[in-house]
Structure 1
Amino acid sequence: MLISLSLLGFGNVGRGVAQVLLEKKEWFRRKYGLEFRVVSISDSSATIWDESGIDLMEALEVKKTFGSLSYWGDEYSIYHLSPIDVARKVESDVFIDVTPANPEAYKWYMEAFRMGRHVVTSNKPPLVFHYVELIQEAAMRGVNYRFEATVMAGTPIITLLQESLLGDEVDSIEGVFNGTTTFILSEMEKGLTFDEALKKAQALGIAEANPDVDIKGFDAAYKATILHNVAFEPMSFKKVEIRGIDDVSPEDIKRAKAQGNVIRLVAKIEKKRVSVEPVEIPKTSPLAVYGTSNVAVIKSDLMGEIVLRGAGAGVKETASAVVSDIIKCVKRE
C-alpha cells in the first residue's frame, strides 16, 4: 500500500524522520506492506512539493550543505506556502508536524482533518489548549490524530494509556518529564551552581538558549496536561499548579543529599488536579532518574503500579514515535 506523506519541519526531528523512512524503506514494505512517499517537505524558508515523491537522500544532503530548502536546484519546484496552505493544498494521506511548539498549529490540523488527512505531531500546545476540538474534528472526519512524540519522546506512554489499559481506571500518574531540569539538578548534585549547570546544559545542546520553558516548569506542565487529557478528561491549563527549579539552591541540594535524597521536577497527575514542582525524593525511588531520562509511575485499579522509563528526548527516539504513529494511522488490522 502506497502512503503519501507531507512533512512540516525539517530540523533535527524532521531530518530524523526522513532518515528512518529512507533507511528502513524495505523493512516497512516487508513487515507492514507499506511504501511511504514523501510528497512535500517544508522548513522555515520554503516547501518542496512533488506528487511523484521527493528524493529523501538528496533532501537531507541539501539541508546539511545549505541549511535551507530554498537553496535547492531546479529538480524540484520551490513553493512559499504557509503551514495551513500545505495542509489544504498538498495531497497527502498523513500530515506530519514536527515544527517547534506553536499554539497556532491547531488551525493547521483542523484544516488537514477537513481535507481527510491523518495528523501526526510532536507539537504540544495544540493538545494542551485545543484538545477537545481537535479530537472531535478528527473523529467526525474519520481520521487519526496521533501525538506519541509529545510526551517522553519515543517511550510509548500515550499508547499505553490509549490502547493497553482499556479495562483499567487510572488512579494517578507521577513522572519526571523534562530532561533539561533533571540534567541541571544532577549536575548541581556534583557541586555545580545552578548557573554553571545551566550553561553546561546549553553548551551540550540539552537546554535552549532561552531555557525558561524548561526551568520554570512549563514544558513538564504541558506534558502532564496532555497525560491528564488522555488518562482522565480535558483540563484547563490555567488550573495546573506550576513551580520550576530556578529557585532550587545548592543548599537545598546538599540538604537532600545528606538525607540520601535527590530533588527532581515531579509532575503529579490525578483526576482534575495537575501539579509540577521540585520534590525531594529518595534515591531509591523510581522517580530518581539521572541525565536526560524520563520516567512515569502509573497506578491503576487492575494493574497496580507500572513504571515506564526511557529517553525523554533525542532525535532517534522522537523519530521513533513519529514513524510509529504514521504506521498506526494507516496500517490495516
Structure 2
Amino acid sequence: MKEVRLSLFGFGNVGRALARVLVEKSAVFRERYGLEFKVVSVADSSAVVWLPVGMNLTEALNVKETLGRLSAWTNDYEVFNFSPVEAVREIDADVVIDVTNDKNAHTWHLAALKEGKAVVTSNKPPLAFHYAELIGEAERRNLPYLFEATVMAGTPVIGLLKETLLGDSVEEIEAVLNGTTTYILTMMEEGASFEDALRKAQELGIAERDPSGDILGIDAGYKATILHCLAFGPTTFDEIEVRGIDGISPEDLARAGKAGRTVRLVASIERGSVSVEPKEVPKGSPLAVSSTQNAAVIRTDLLGELVIQGAGAGLKETASGVVSDVIKAALKV
C-alpha cells in the first residue's frame, strides 16, 4: 500500500465535496490503486490546520460546517496563520491541492513545485495567466501539474486533449464552457427576465453572489485560454477577446428562436485566436445545451469532429475531476 500525503487548500463547497469523496471512497482507492491518502493539512481563509500524522476529515467537515471556520478548531490540532507560500514550504506533503479562487495562486504553485511537490488544481486564473511558467517548472522537475477540473468540471476535456489525441492536430474548438450563462439563457428562453433568471440561479447556487465573472464572460474566457494552451500552445487571458451575455435581451432570444436557433455563450478557439461571445447556434447543434450543461466540439485532422458533453458545474462533478488528478499524481510521485 502506497501512502500519499495531501495538503488541501480551500475548504469551501468544492473543498468539502472533495473531502467527502476522499472519506467515502477510501476503500475503493486502496483496493483499486493501492493508495492510502493521508490529508496532513487543510486550509481555509481563516487558518491552516496541520497534523503530520494525518487529519480526521470527518471531524474537519463537522468543524467547518458547524463553526464556519477552521480557526475555531483546536482539539488536538495545531492552527497556523501561514500564508499559502509558507504553508507549501513548511508542510511535508506529496501533493498540494488548490481548490481556492486565489487569483495569485501561481506564486505558491511555483513554490510547491520548487519544493518537489506535485500540484492538482481547479483554480483557473493561475493557468489562464501563467500557463507556460507553471508547466515549464513542472516539466523541468518531472512533477505532475494537473488541472482537469479547471474546464468543464469533471467532464474530461483536458485529459482528452492532453493524453488521448496524441497523434491528432487540433484545428478548431468551439465550446460552451459556462453553466451559469447557459442556465440563465435557458430560463430566459422560457420567459423569465434576465434579472429573474439570475436571481433563480443564485438561489440554486448555480451563480455566485457576485456573478460578474460568469455574466461578463470572464470565467469562460479563462477556460478557453486554457484549452488554447493545450491544443495550440501558450497564450494568456490578456490576449483574447471576451464579451458576455449582459447585453442579451428576451427579444434577441425570441428572434433567434423563430429562426430555429438558440443563443449560447460560445468560445471559439483556433491557433493564435480565442474569442468568447454570445452566438446564435442551430437548435440541433451540440452547442445548443441547456440547464448547466457544457459542450465542446473538437475538430482534428485525423478524427474529424469529436463532441464531448457533460456537466460543467456542480460540487460532485468538480470533485470528480480533482480526485481523478489526485490519483494520477499519487501514482507518479
TM-score, normalised on structure 1?
Answer: 0.98
Count matched residues: 332
Alignment partner, residue 59 of structure 1:
60
- Per-residue CA distance 1:231-262 (angstroms, 9 max, x = gap): 11111322211111111111101101111111
SS at match of 1:110: helix
2: CA distance between counterparts of 1:206 and 1:54?
A: 31
Question: 2:288: which partner in 1?
Answer: 288
Asked whether 1:163 is paired with 2:166, we answer no
Match of 1:184 in 2: 184
Q: Which residue identity does 2:264 align to in structure 1? A: R
Q: Counterparts of 2:300 and 2:185 in 1: how far apart (Å)?
A: 30
Deviation at 1:106, TM superposition (A): 0.3
Residue type of the partner of 2:70?
L
Moved more, 232-241 or 14-23: 232-241
> 1:15 — aligned with what?
16
Structure 2 counterpart of 1:70, one-letter code: S
CA distances 1:265-297 after superposition (whole Å, capped 9, x unpaired): 000000000111110111100000000000001
1:73 to partner: Cα distance: 3.1
Match of 2:146?
146
CA contact (8 A) 2:50 2:78 kept: yes
CA RMSD after TM alignment: 1.1
Greater shift after overlay, 323-332 or 165-174? Answer: 323-332
Matches within 5 A, 1:81-100: 81-100=82-101
Alpha-carbon distance in structure 2 between the residues aligned to 1:278 and 1:247: 9
- What are the ranges of 5 or more consecutive residues in structure 2 without an aligned counterpart? none
In structure 2, how many angstroms separate the alpha carbons of the residues matched to 1:313 and 1:9? 17
Per the alignment, in what secondary structure is the counterpart of residue 323 of structure 1? Answer: helix
User: What letter is aligned with 1:96?
Assistant: I
Q: Which amino acid aligns with 1:54?
A: M
| Residue 332 of structure 1, CA deviation | 5.3
SS at match of 1:3: strand
**Letter of the structure 1 residue corresponding to residue 214 of structure 2:** D
User: Structure 1, residues 100-155: CA drift from partner, whole Å, max 9, x if none?
Assistant: 1x331000011001100000001111101111111111111121100001000000
Residue 110 of structure 2 contacts residue 137 of structure 2 at CA under 8 Å; is this kept in 1? yes
2:103 match: secondary structure: coil
Q: Name the stretch that deviates more: 163-172 or 234-243.
A: 234-243
- The match for 1:297 is 297
Give how far 1:30 is off: 0.6
Secondary structure of 1:321's counterpart equals helix
The C-alpha deviation readout for 1:73-110, integer Å capped at 9, x for no partner, is 3311111111111111100000000011x331000011
Q: Counterpart of 1:265?
A: 265
Contact 2:26 2:36 in 1 (8 A): yes
Deviations 1:6-39 (A, max 9, x none): 0000011111111111111111011001100000
Query: How many angstroms apart in 2 are the aligned matches of 1:123 and 1:238?
Result: 17
Cα-to-partner distance string for 1:168-225 (whole Å, 9 max, x where unaligned)? 0001110000011001100110111111111111121111121111111111011000
Q: Is the 8 A contact 1:103 1:129 kept in 2?
A: no
Aligned to 2:317: 317
Moved over 6 A (4+): none
Letter of the aligned partner of 1:59 in structure 2?
A
CA distance in 2, matches of 1:200, 1:21: 31
How many Å separate the matches in 1 of 2:137 and 2:282? 44
**Structure 1: which 5+ runs fail to align?**
none
- Correspondence 1:69 to 2:70: yes
Matched residue type, 1:256: A
Moved more, 149-158 or 200-209: 200-209
Who is 1:207 aligned against?
Answer: 207
Report the TM-score, using the length of structure 2 for normalisation. 0.98
Q: Which moved more, 1:246-255 or 1:234-243?
A: 234-243
- Distance in 1 (CA, whole Å) between partners of 2:98 and 2:10 is 6
Give 1:49 deviation, angstroms. Answer: 0.4
CA distance in 1 between counterparts of 2:14 and 2:95 reads 17
Q: Hey, what's the Cα distance between the residues in 2 that align with 1:132 and 1:246?
A: 32
CA contact (8 A) 1:267 1:277 kept: yes
Structure 1 stretch 237-246 or stretch 279-288: which is displaced more?
Answer: 237-246
SS at match of 1:331: helix
Distance 1:55 1:194 in 2: 44
Alignment-mate amino acid for residue 230 of structure 2: V
Equivalent-residue separation in structure 2 for 1:105 and 1:72 (angstroms)? 25
Residues 332 and 124 of structure 1: is their aligned pair in 2 closer, same or farther, counting only changes over 3 Å? closer
Counterpart Cα distance in 1 of 2:146 and 2:270:
23
Residue 24 of structure 1 aligns to which amino acid in structure 2?
A: K
Equivalent positions of 1:242-281 (< 5 A) are: 242-281=242-281
Q: Is the 8 A contact 2:130 2:236 kept in 1?
A: no
Say which SS state the counterpart of residue 285 (structure 2) adopts.
Answer: coil
Partners of 1:293 and 1:310 within 8 A in 2? yes
